[in-house]
Structures are given as C-alpha cells and as structure tokens.
Structure 1
Amino acid sequence: MNQLPVRHIIDNVSFDLQEQHDFTWLQSLGTVFCVFDQQDSGNISFGIENNGIKHFVKYAGCRPLAFSGEPIDAISRLSTAIPLYKTLKHPYLINLINHFEPNNGYAAIFEWFKGECLHSHWLFAGKAKQTHPESPFYKFKQLSVEKRLQALNTIYEFHKFVESQGYVAVDFYDGSILYDFSTDVTKICDIDFYRPAPSVNDMGENFWGARRFKSPEEFILGAPIDAKTNVFTMGAIAFGLLGGEMDHSFSKWEANKSLYEVALRAVSKERERRYITVSEFKKAWDSKK
C-alpha cells in the first residue's frame, strides 16, 4: 500500500513529500516564497527572499512525490553538476552563487531570474501547455517570430560556447528555457547532465532527455553523444519554438523557408547529413535570417 504524502509547511508555502524531512536550514537563507516540488529528478527547489534580494535554491536529499529513485543518487548528481556551472559560466546561463551540504543533503544557490519555464508541467500539463492562455509556452508561441528568433539566438550562442569549452549538452529541452515576458530576456537553466565531449550513450533508450527533442543516438546504448547530437537538439528546439515540434512539416513552420531547411537538415536521422558542429549550424542559421 502506498504511503500517504507528508505535508511540509515553510513560512507561507506548503508542499508534500513521500516522507518527513528537515528543512530548518532554509531559515538562515531568508523567507521561502515559492516551491517547485513536482520534479522527477529528486531535486526540490525554493524561491527565497532576504532583505529584498531573491535567490533560487535547488536541493537534493529528500523524497519528492514524483521521485522514484534514491536521494543519495540525486545528491551525487547535483554535487557533480556544480563544476559545470563554473566552467560553463555565461551571461545566458543562470548564475551559481554558492553551494553547500545542509544536514545530509546538497544545496545549490542561484541568482533569481524572474523568467517563466517554457515547460511548466507542474502547472500546465498535457494539452493545457499548448492552449491555456497563462501557460508560458502558449504565451511564448504568441510572440512575434522575431522575438522567438531572438530567444533561439540566445540558446544557440550558449551552446556554441558549450561546444567551444569541450562539452556536449545532455537533457536540454524546453524545460531548460526561462523567458522573461516583461523584458524579452531568455536564460538557460538546468545543465546538470552536460558532459565532456565526446561522450557515449551509457543508458540506452532511457538516456537523459525529453523524447520530443532526443536524437536517434540518444536511444541507442553505446552510440556517440557529440557535436552532431547537439546539432540535432538545436534543430529540434527550433521546431519546438517555431514549428510543430515533432511534426517537421513546413505547414507548421512559422519562419522563412530557408531557416526551415537549416532546421530540417539539423534533425536528420542520419548523423552524416547533419551539420558537423553547433558552430557550423549557427553560421548556416544566421545566414538565412
């Protein structure tokens, strides 16, 4: 029989976990004003304000309701990700401020960015993501093509930088994109699974990532995970933000035909047909805007 959820209340925010957990360490950081507790990664995150300054705190060590793994594994993944945020520090990436080990868990503190996540599945699941007027993804899709191209440029510039630093993006999808509708600023979050390049698929079909954006090799055990994989991801994101996501037909595409052809080549199932690098892809993309 499934165990009943355990309600936790911190300041004026409440959330449920699979079991009791001590969060008294949060008090020293400020006042909790929001919680993100629906992740299946094993992390739970908080918005915290102290003297008018807001921070985003990601924590591993408890058992969120959507998490089926072991907290020790979530702790290991989060602590291992910390060097990534330092090595790949960039104006388009959320900024890591501090990290430490409260009790038997692990916490990472980031600057607060008031953008909305384009895959807010905890608020707008299923069809609501595409149709609800308050869904960040729906609102984003109502923006002009020019503004969406600007957001894609941010994504591509960051991943060109990632490539230049000798890394590959893993588990990048629309849930890794934050957009501030008041300033039209885009930021990347959650690069926890990025890896040194080249890498290999060591998990088979269940390799990290959203199926909607994964390349064919991200389903095959032992397959290379490299620049060409990321080219596919960049093309898939273009179809997600400008087209019909997994439907790559031109009828769903909202930008010009030349950009469509660049994106279509990027998502070729055959690796040899794709652009060789993200840098080459972006050069072709920029020439067609």
Structure 2
Amino acid sequence: MFPGAIDVHPATYLDQLGTIFARFAPQDSGNISYGVQTGTARYFVKTTAEAPDAYLNLTDRVKLLRNAVDLARSVAHPALPALHTVIESPTTPLLVYEWRDGDLLGDPTTRERFRALPTREIVAALNALYDLHAALDAAGWVQCDFYNSSMLYDFPARRLTVVDLDLYHRGPVRNTMGRMFGSSSYMAPEEHVLGAPIDSRTTAYVMARTAQLLLPDAPPQLADVLIEATTARFPSYPAFYEAWLTASSTIGASLSNRST
C-alpha cells in the first residue's frame, strides 16, 4: 500500500494517505514523527526536516535514519517495532514502523509509575531489554545515546518497546567526540573520554545503569551483577547478560510484589 517514493512534502503525503492522529514535533534532533491511521491499521512514521537548531545538519540526520533502517532490517525482536517500509521523498526518507502503544519513560511521571511496579514486572521488562541487546550485540551493534526516552512501556499489556536507536553503530569504534551523545546518568565512563574504545563492554555498562535507575530495590543477586557491571566491568555484553540470567534464575520464584 506504500509507494517506494513520493514527490511531495512528507506531511502532505501522510495527510493524503490517512488520518494523522499524532504529531511529534522536532526536538534538538531535528527529526519529526507522526502517528498515521489508514483504515484500521496504525503506523509510526519517522522522518526529518530542515531544523536550524538541530545538533546535526540535514545530511547527517538522513544518514542516521538510514542507519536506523539498517538496524531494523538486521534484527527482529518483540521489543523492537517492525519496520514495514521506507518511502523516499525529495529531501528525506520516511521510515514506516508498526505503531506501539505505550508511555515514554523519559517522562518523569511515567518513569516513577514504572519504578513503582512490582519487582517481578520490572525484571520482566529488563529481561526483554537485555534479550534485545543480546540480539543486537550478536548482529554487531554497539549502543550509543540509549537512555530513558528510548523506552516505551505499555502498562496494561506489560510490554516494553525500545525506540530511537538511530545512533547505534556497527562494531567497536573510538570515541571521537569526547563527551558523546547521551544522558550522563546512563553513559559509560568511556563515552566521556576522547579516543576511548566504545564496544560491547559499553553496552553492558549502559544496560546495567538502566536497571540501577529503573529497579530501585533490586534483589541482592541482581544488584551484585549490576554493581560489577558498573565498577570492575564485564569483558563483554554476553558476559554481563549471562551473569544477569544466572542471577535471575536463582531468584525467579522468590520475586515478590513490592508494596507501592
């Protein structure tokens, strides 16, 4: 139902295609996204536009969108929205994803609501996040700019969705920026050091920090894994993930619902 290319402005095309029920105005990224309904189907459409205040120019932002396409086509996972197609416009591609319901954990109120969930439910969400990153790691991807606004949580369905992985990169790289893109609360030390290696160990650190920030009362076995991941450090993401799974298996039956 979607064309391979259009010769009009993306918003004009989407208005013609169906009903735009949500618009996500460009932030500092310069990207702009839409929720579009055609018949009974809903889609999330991500593109970019001229934005003088964006931290990257239009050409570089288009490159990141194409990087996101590469990632989406390399890994299929329940926590990652499926990419249906890419539509070329005169200026930028339009990435057409499946629509996912959920609240953004970048919102402080939503985040506190999530942190107040039963421990069992938070751990299940983290398990989905970590399993996704095991698949990404196996496909050669290293995280960059992952933080709370990279996650949606559907409270009724108890489902975590991971979004906006445009800055993830293939394989180990060197830090060429000094202070890289991201939230300081989540970032690994090497993401602040010019020339430092950014690799699978970096992904492990950031994932561990995610749990420390979202699971305030982690059971001791899990807390020990997270502390090791953010101090002595694991040698790779798979090593961290294996330690997490081992710790989870020892406490699975004893995870109790935490009072709120």
| C-alpha contact (below 8 Å) 1:177/1:188 kept by paired residues | yes
Counterpart mapping for 1:151-170 below 5 A: 151-170=125-144
**Amino acid aligned to 1:59:** T
Q: CA deviation at 1:71?
A: 2.5
Deviations 1:207-257 (A, max 9, x none): 1221111111001111101111111111100111112xxxxxxxxxx0212
In the other structure, the counterpart of 2:241 is: 282
**Amino acid aligned to 1:178:** L
Asked if residue 216 in structure 1 is aligned to residue 204 in structure 2, the reply is: no
Asked if residue 267 in structure 1 is aligned to residue 254 in structure 2, the reply is: no
State the SS of the aligned residue for 1:54.
Answer: strand
Asked if residue 233 in structure 1 is aligned to residue 206 in structure 2, the reply is: yes
Distance across 1 between alignment mates of 2:70 and 2:94: 14
Aligned length: 240
In the other structure, the counterpart of 1:25 is: 13
Distance across 1 between alignment mates of 2:17 and 2:148: 29
Rate the CA distance shift 1:225–1:174 in 2: closer, same or farther, 3 A.
same
Distance across 2 between alignment mates of 1:81 and 1:201: 20
Rate the CA distance shift 1:156–1:73 in 2: closer, same or farther, 3 A.
same
**Amino acid aligned to 1:142:** A
Q: Which deviates the most, 42-51 or 188-197? A: 188-197
Distance across 1 between alignment mates of 2:229 and 2:55: 34
TM-score, with length taken from structure 1 = 0.78
Distance across 2 between alignment mates of 1:24 and 1:256: 51
Rate the CA distance shift 1:22–1:154 in 2: closer, same or farther, 3 A.
closer
Distance across 1 between alignment mates of 2:236 and 2:30: 32
The CA RMSD over aligned residues, in Å, is 1.7
**Amino acid aligned to 2:130:** Y
In the other structure, the counterpart of 2:221 is: 258
State the SS of the aligned residue for 2:185.
Answer: helix
Unaligned ranges ≥5, structure 1 = 1-20, 121-128, 130-134, 244-253
Q: CA deviation at 1:104?
A: 1.5
| C-alpha contact (below 8 Å) 1:62/1:105 kept by paired residues | no
| C-alpha contact (below 8 Å) 1:48/1:54 kept by paired residues | yes
**Amino acid aligned to 2:206:** T
Distance across 2 between alignment mates of 1:84 and 1:195: 9
Q: Where does structure 1 differ by over 4 angstroms across 4 or more consecutive aligned residues? A: none
Unaligned ranges ≥5, structure 2 = 1-8, 249-260
Query: Which structure carries more relative contact order (alpha carbon 8 Å, separation 6+)?
Result: 2
In the other structure, the counterpart of 1:74 is: 61
